[in-house]
Amino acid sequence: MKAMTANWTAPTAHGPIRWTQHIPGSKSITNRAYILAALAAYPSAIHGALHSRDTALMADALRAMGTGIRDTEGVVYVDPAPLHGTKVECGLAGTVMRFVPPVAALASGPVLFDGDAQARTRPMSTILDALRALGVSITGDTLPFTVESSGIPVGGTVEIDASASSQFVSGLLLAAPRFAKGITVRHVGAKLPSLPHIEMTVAMLRQAGITVDESENQWQVHPGPIQGRTWVVEPDLSNATPFLAAAAVTGGSVTVRNWPLDTTQPGDAIRLILERMGCQVDLITAASGPGYDLQVTGPKPGKLNGVNLDMSDIGELTPTVAALAALASEPSILSGIAHLRGHETDRLAALSTEINRLGGHCQELPDGLLITPAPLHGGVWHSYADHRMATAGAIIGLVVEGVEVEDIQTTSKTLPGFETMWADMVHG
């Protein structure tokens, strides 16, 4: 049983925030690099890897199957080795429960997967049925389940409905080069969400020397050796968005170091969103080293514009944008995000409940949220063991006195030390 912890009183800003923030590495890139390095033909090094609960769970899963992983002076070295049967703990990490089962199909013995109680309700049948269609033996349809294969799976073509999560596609693609005939994934069903994450997967496969053919709703990964290489992980742009939101809601200016000019991370979309909401957004020459920093300057407090956004490709930004919308001067509609009902929690229900609990007006739509600004008051903001729900509460707490975020430690899933970073920003 989880120990009870005191609620975290979100610090309130009593003027415009002016701050420069360093953001640790991308969780999405880190965990993809771990998978590709573990399946590579020779060792790899990962520079700038994120160290968080999700990435630790990924590293531990691969170690448990036999991969050598060591962290030396900030560089993670990955030594591939024959994979064997074991037990994998997924926690609440979607990338572990969706990316690692295809890897486990390459192991010499059964691999049992389990996770947090909340993870046992997350949809898994899509990838498990796909592995069954590819000749892999699976026992169970949700956590806990067991993956077992006799020899290297043949692979081939598989049709899946990945409308609940793009992770189902990425999970199959990442391990596909090691299947005898590779894997062709054909998406059949409603609109595929979070397409940039699949583009990230394809780009990283190609960087590792793998041939990938793409057409609409279809990806063909050819078999072949995955190259060991040096991976350099970009800052996590989705983790940067709450800090940029701080500038937007306080009329301040926040700079995030080393913003990549060319990236597949969905978090990059925050630049356009903040501009549409009335912020000034500038890429400026980096204060130290090559490249650029991103600087966001907010409008006068209370003057944020409402927005009408299709967020189907950028669903992970929804909690940040919903918090901004609750503090805007006009209504906002966030659509294309029905799939968020299957994330760490039902994010649409959670956001609606918590915004309304503080006096706001948030209505669930079939595929999104209608947020009509209303005067907010203090109270407890529940996180639902969801890191992005916790950071959304922190954003609102910047301008609403007395917001207490329940279980702020859930942010360690992707950004350990968030509450200290946040307090440092607010208090200067």
Q: Which of 386-416 are b and which e, b meaning 16 or more Cβ less than 10 Å from the residue's Cβ?
A: bbbbbbbbbbbbbbbeebbbbbbbbbbbbbb
Q: Which of 316, 344, 354, 419 is catalytic?
A: 316
Annotated binding residue at 122?
A: yes
H or E element in which residue 348 lies: helix 347-357
200's CB contacts (< 8 A; 6+ apart) are: 28, 29, 32, 170, 264, 265
Q: Does the annotation place 229 within a ligand binding site? A: no
167 is in an annotated binding site: yes
Edge-first strand listing for the sheet containing 137-139: 86-89, 111-114, 145-148, 137-139
Q: Do the annotations mark residue 166 as ligand-binding? A: yes
354 is an annotated ligand-binding site residue: no
What span, in angstroms and rounded, lies between the C-alpha atoms of 16 and 33? Answer: 38
- Distances 160 to 103, 177, 187, 215, 427 between C-alpha atoms, Å: 18, 19, 5, 15, 49
Q: Hunting for tokens 């079939």 — which residue is that? A: 366
Does 32 appear as a known binding residue? yes
Annotation-wise, does 194 bind a ligand?
yes
CB 351 within 8 A of CB 393: no
27 is known to lie in a ligand binding site: yes
On whether 18 is known to bind a ligand per the annotation, the reply is no
Q: For residue 63, say whether it is annotated as part of any ligand binding site.
A: no
Residue 146, phi then psi, degrees to nearest 5: -125, 135
Q: Is 388 annotated as a binding residue?
A: yes
108 labelled binding-site residue: no
Q: Catalytic: 316?
A: yes
Annotated binding site for phosphoenolpyruvate: 27, 94, 122, 167, 347, 388, 413
Annotated binding site: 27-28, 32, 94, 122, 165-167, 194, 316, 343, 347, 388, 413
What is the set of active-site residues? 316
Annotated binding site for 3-phosphoshikimate: 27-28, 32, 165-167, 194, 316, 343
